[in-house]
Chain A
Amino acid sequence: MQQEWKIHTLRFIILVALQVLILQSVHPGDGWLRYGEIFLYPLFLMSLPFRMHAAFLVMCGFATGIIVDLFYDTPGVHAGASVLSAFLRPLWLQIIEPRAGYDPRQSLTRRSFGMGWFLRFSGGYLFIHILAIQSLTLFSFYYMTDILWRTALCWALSFIVLFLQDIVIHPRR
């Protein structure tokens, strides 16, 4: 138990630091590509223990988001997106529940429930999160098309990076 909290804390520090110190300044190109951004910190919220109470999950989301916001200088945008995605996580987990159900002791990773499940879980979670970020950034139905294509762009980039880091950090199946 003690060990598990250490892992989550460490993951929190590493991912948030990575996000605000490195990924914040990474842009894939000029023109329309400059709206492409990589958001990796949601991985921390995704990986929080399965049994964690929804209220606490939402609080963790808010805390993470507000710290990211401090560095992005966008008060409330990442906090709001994290609160939303954390709140919807139990629902999303329920929707994509594997046939065998969840084992509450296992962590929500690729190794626990398999590659297919993990891709669906992280892909869906990232999509909700990034859609919320773009919605709160552009903040108007008037920009609906911009919101959607920026979401698609950022989602694709973030998803690739998330997948790669998972392969790199846990090379064994």
Chain B
Amino acid sequence: MINLLVFLTRYGGMLTFLLLGGISLYLVVRYNQTQREIWINSSQYYSGVLLEKTNRLKEYSLLLEVADSLAQENARLYTRLYHQLAISSPESTPDSLLSQFDMVPARIIKNSIHLPNNNITLDKGTLHGVVPGMGVILHNGVLGIVRSATPRFSRVMSVLNTRTFVSGTITRAGAFGTLNWTGQDPGILIMQEVPKHIQVQVGDTIVTSGHSAIFPAGIPIGVVRQYFVPSGSHSLHIEVKLFADLARTNRAYIVRNKYWEEIRQLENGE
């Protein structure tokens, strides 16, 4: 009781001020036309700004979900795109093979580029239909080949791994070769086994050849940076600048081949 009185003596002025000031403000807004309009307009404006800000915040928290759904969407579009490419290619395959590939979107949860043999971990595994041997691509290049898979994760041999070999085509010349990494510059692959009579130019685009069950044909890899014929060799040594910056990417698509088992059985049976 005493405390209450002390409190009232000390802060009574403040409380009365807040109360009567609030009443005055209410009267001003309630009974004066001009002030009322200003009040309504301003409060609408400020509540609008506030709503917009909270909305932005909400959207931001949903960003991961949005990115995932966009990755799904991309995977579907890639599947259709390669489908289309297969139809329009001159040596078109029978209908049953057209939709041979489909894509599983995945997030890169561990990546390295500095080791001689780099490996990558993805957040999709056997539960999502991923099995060892499948190819992994990016929106602008090739990432690697699945080496092992657990139910929820998979381990990928990066193209920046001296043991990874990818079959590529020089689009302008139509020649095939094998791409491999030397373990040095993480932006450069070396293409070998291209016969030295092939006319190559700096700037030529290299895409996947489709000569395996791993990658569909036509996925961009990089451009020719320079080339030469090593002495005593019958094939070219081509340096290929990758389109993709593997250090900065965090989303990938695992290429699922519908006839994987069939092809493997066939190849192993020989």
Chain A residues close to B by CB (< 8 Å)? 53-55, 57-59, 61-62, 65, 69, 74-77, 79-80, 83-84, 87, 90, 136-137, 139-140
Q: Is the CB of B30 within 8 A of A90?
A: no
Q: A54-B17, A87-B16 are in contact. List 13 more A-B contacts (CB 8 A).
A: A53-B9, A53-B12, A55-B12, A59-B16, A65-B24, A75-B28, A76-B29, A77-B24, A77-B28, A80-B21, A87-B17, A137-B35, A139-B34
Which residues of A sit under 8 angstroms from B27, Cβ to Cβ?
69, 75-76, 79-80
Shortest distance between the CB of A106 and any CB in chain B (Å): 22
Q: Taking A83-B24, A84-B21 as contacts, is the C-beta distance between A58 and B34 under 8 angstroms?
A: no
Q: Nearest B residue to A142 by beta-carbon distance? A: B38
Give Cα A54 to B9, complex, Å: 9
B38 touches which of A65, A80, A84, A139 (Cβ 8 Å): A139
Q: Which of B2-51 contact A (CB under 8 A)?
A: 8-9, 12-17, 20-21, 23-32, 34-35, 38-39, 42
Distance in Å from the Cβ of A144 to the closest Cβ of chain B? Answer: 13
Q: How far is the CA of A147 from the CA of B43 in the complex (A)?
A: 20
CB atoms of A59 and B32 under 8 A apart? no
Per DSSP, are chain B's interface residues mostly helix, strand or loop, or mixed? helix
Chain B, 211-239, contact with A by CB distance < 8 Å: what is the 0/1 string? 00000000000000000000000000000
- With a cutoff of 8 Å between Cβ atoms, the chain B residues found around residue A90 in the complex are 13
A139 close to B35 (CB less than 8 A): yes
Q: Give chain A residues whose Cβ lies under 8 Å from the Cβ of B38.
A: 139-140
Task: Assess the B9–A76 pair: CB atoms within 8 A.
Answer: no
A69 and B38 CA atoms in complex are apart in Å by 20
Contacts of B35 in A (CB 8 A): 136-137, 139
Instruction: Give Cα A58–Cα B39 distance, bound, in whole angstroms.
Output: 25
What are 16 A-B pairs with beta-carbon distances under 8 A? Answer: A54-B16, A54-B17, A55-B15, A55-B16, A58-B13, A58-B16, A58-B20, A62-B24, A69-B27, A75-B31, A76-B29, A76-B30, A77-B28, A79-B27, A83-B20, A139-B39
